[in-house]
Amino acid sequence: MIYEPAEDSFLLKAQLKNFVKKGMKVLDLGTGSGIQVLEAKRLGANVLAADINEECVTHVKKLKIKAIQSDLFENIKEKFDLIIFNPPYLPEEPLEPEDSKLSTTGGKKGNEVLIRFLKQAKNYLNENGKILIVFSSLTPDVNKILKKLNYNFKKLDEEKIDFETLYVYLIWI
């Protein structure tokens, strides 16, 4: 199942024009429908898309985007000027169908995929490289985790939706 772009996707996408420059190397991790990578390409970046879900990889390849199947950085061999990630960030919800869980559920607490990502991401950034993420008020301890991993960060935007607030962060070393 390919994640249908939603409020989180749009909030993150809206920031790309402020950070993507022509010729920049950009990785869109968890590309899903390709909404972020298509915008980065439109803005002139040299893009790579990756997703753990083969269906998403096949989908974006059809949109003429270079894409690989990868669990986070498992199959990524390069460094980037910008890494974009709209991760699965919600706590486990027993009633959620298995196929949509891959897009929405970050683990039991909700922050597990994000923690794994942040532990690895600094090794895939060029000098002065940046990370853009989106997550929810339901994702626990994000500021604490970022501080513990010695990242700098800045909130770029937020949006209140039904039972949660979404946040877009810029992160750098």
Ligand X SMILES: C[S@@+](CC[C@H](N)C(=O)[O-])C[C@H]1O[C@@H](n2cnc3c(N)ncnc32)[C@H](O)[C@@H]1O
Binding footprint of ligand X on the chain (CB under 6 A)? 3, 5, 9, 12, 29-33, 35-36, 51-53, 56, 71-72, 86, 88, 102-103, 113
Closer residue to ligand X (CB): 119 or 147: 119
Least Cβ distance, residue 146 to ligand X (angstroms)? 19
SS3 category, 41: helix
Closer residue to ligand X (CB): 15 or 53: 53
List Cα–Cα distances, 149 to 1, 40, 76, 115, 119, in angstroms. Answer: 32, 27, 21, 9, 7
Phi, then psi, of 50 in degrees rounded to 5 = -140, 150
Least Cβ distance, residue 148 to ligand X (angstroms)? 20
Q: Whole-angstrom Cα distance, residue 131 to residue 171?
A: 5
Q: Are strands 125-136 and 164-172 parallel, antiparallel or unpaired?
A: antiparallel
Paired tokens of 13:
């996408």
Least Cβ distance, residue 127 to ligand X (angstroms)? 25
Least Cβ distance, residue 66 to ligand X (angstroms)? 16
Closer residue to ligand X (CB): 25 or 116: 116
Which residues pair with residue 68 across a beta bridge? 50
Closer residue to ligand X (CB): 3 or 169: 3
